[in-house]
Structure 1
């Protein structure tokens, strides 16, 4: 699918509009007509560039990621995790949590959305996390056969879903850093800070 007709600035504008609409009305009520109206573009352009609503939503989420986590390399896994958290502020985390909450039901009811999110958003994130973990294994920080390795992405997603549900407050950098230090790093065999 060719996206060369749009400038990066215009593409970013479209992606931001899609995410704003998702937060405002949710996935089910989001329409290509609404995106076209919000961005002063034609529905034909949207379909030509992205093919479908699920792909446009997934690409919008992918574009909203501030950094490719596979590129984070501070020399330690704890440093990499903390740098990953530092790439987003509390306001952005709150907005991301609202998006995850809004999409969670839609994913269960829409196979096309689930497939698009897996291919365009989730798999690249898991690949980036795997790259980060492989570097930690190569440095000797963690064991390659640690059984927790295959559950790290589940643990991260679980934190984003469970924290607002259990604590009735949005995700924050402080909570996520503490969660990484207290739960994820010890699960990988690394001591918590100060231990």
Structure 2
């Protein structure tokens, strides 16, 4: 499978996940939307949990390690410029769908932890280590370990609490009002 075809398949996975949720997502529907056979999918991925996790890993795009503005605040705000409001809303939809699904699907939880958490592909640790090296955050500052929780929480809760879609303007205010103060900045 070419990289281009793989990207098309991952797009089909994420589109289906957003549209129907994890429970209703099937390898059949992904194969149909990606115009490939189920056999092709099962030869490459062990099943739906790994396929979804790999699609998410592929879609994460630019690593957060890339923005290095000289400050954690600058890096976090630069991270926001790497995507637009529509993609942020799509990401929030995926996070909400997966937050529900991992509660009842241990195989999905395991696949997501292996591919997205344990391997730490997002670069948040890199951002934090740079902030520690610059002296912005004390080494061992306990709140720093909760940075992923803070960021994911924003994606999960804005719609629920404010009945407003998430966008870059909200995330920018959230970084300045919640994330940075919680890190002692």
Q: TM-score, normalised by structure 1?
A: 0.90
How many Å separate the matches in 2 of 1:122 and 1:95?
Answer: 20
1:128 deviates by 1.3
Query: Which residue number in structure 1 is paired with residue 82 of structure 2?
Result: 87
Q: 1:69–1:125: 8 Å Cα contact kept in structure 2?
A: no
Which stretch of structure 1 is more off in the superposition, 84-93 or 66-75?
66-75
Q: 1:181 to 1:125 in 2, by over 3 A?
A: farther
1:164 aligns with 2:165: no
Structure 2 counterpart of 1:44: 39
Report what 2:182 is aligned to: 187
Q: Tell whether 2:135 aligns with 1:140.
A: yes
Q: CA offsets per residue over residues 106-138 of structure 1, 9 Å max, x none?
A: 110000000111111233447611111001110
C-alpha contact (below 8 Å) 1:93/1:170 kept by paired residues: no
Query: Normalising by the residue count of structure 2, what TM-score does the alignment of the two structures yield?
Result: 0.94
The answer to whether residue 22 in structure 2 is matched with residue 30 in structure 1 is: no
Superposed displacement of residue 66, structure 1: 2.2
For residue 47 of structure 1, give the secondary structure of its aligned residue in structure 2.
Answer: helix
Structure 1 residues 128 and 10: CA distance shift in structure 2, 3 A: same
How many equivalent pairs are there?
185
Distance of 1:127 and 1:65 partners within structure 2: 8
Matches within 5 A, 1:59-70: 59-70=54-65
Match of 2:48 in 1: 53
Q: Which runs of 5+ in 2 are unaligned?
A: none
Alignment RMSD (CA, Å): 1.4
Say if 1:125 and 1:72 are closer, same or farther in 2 by CA, change over 3 A.
Answer: farther
- In structure 2, the CA distance between the partners of 1:27 and 1:9, relative to structure 1 (3 Å rule), is same
Instruction: Note the 1:88-167 alignment, pairs <5 A.
Output: 88-125=83-120, 128-167=123-162
C-alpha offsets along residues 71-119 of structure 1, whole Å, 9 cap, x if unaligned?
A: 3212111111011111111101111111111222211000000011111
